[in-house]
Amino acid sequence: MTNYNGHCHCGQTEWTVKLDDPGHILWSVALLPLDENKDHHCDACKILSGGEHTLNTLAGKDDIKITKGTLKTYDYQGDSGNPVHCYYCPNCTSHVYHHQTVMGDKIVIRTALLEGGKKFKVNAEIFGKDRLDWQPELAKTFPGPPE
């Protein structure tokens, strides 16, 4: 495992995370209005990122250490019906990581916030069913979450 340092947009929050494979997993997002009765994971990512997908990887909950600042949290209901806990900088609101409780002790790290993240390759795409028609497939694609 290799340590990677990360920081939020304003620099108020910093962290170190241990990763086995420092590649991106693209969470593709739908550009459709939210269903008021159900918050779809992919729509949540669209709102959080303001773009077509978010850049992420998986790590163990014990593999991240906040080295500067304190994170705030909020929760929403994921596609599984289980809670998703979002951890973000209280000043600039950069999302450091999410914990989807359905995933046990794994967390979703935002790879674009890591030093060297621009050079990470794309390992997979999930929620590919919601990829925009003009967006090319960049890696192995799963229609929803990988099973």
| pLDDT attached to residue 133 | 76
pLDDT digits (tens, 9 = 90+) for 53-71: 788 888 999 999 999 999 9
Phi-psi region of 130 (alpha: psi -120 to 50; beta: other; left: phi over 0): alpha
Q: Determine the pLDDT at residue 118.
A: 87
pLDDT tens, residue by residue, 8-31: 999 999 999 999 877 766 655 443
Residues 72-79: what's their mean pLDDT?
88
pLDDT at site 30: 40
pLDDT, tens digit, 9 for 90 and up, residues 86-100: 999 999 999 999 998
User: To the nearest whole number, what is the mean pLDDT of the chain?
Assistant: 81
Its pTM stands at 0.79
Report the Cα 48 to chain-centroid distance in Å.
10
Q: Please give the structure tokens belonging to residue 10.
A: 């304003």
Can you tell me the distance from the alpha carbon of 48 to that of 55, in angstroms, rounded to the nearest whole number? 12
Residue 40 has pLDDT above 60, yes or no: no
| Unique residue bearing structure tokens 């229609």 | 143
Order of strands across the sheet that contains 72-77: 72-77, 83-88, 95-100, 106-110, 53-60, 24-28, 122-126, 140-141
Cα gap 139→43, rounded to integer Å: 21
Rounded to an integer, what distance in angstroms lies between the CA atom of residue 109 and that of residue 64?
A: 9
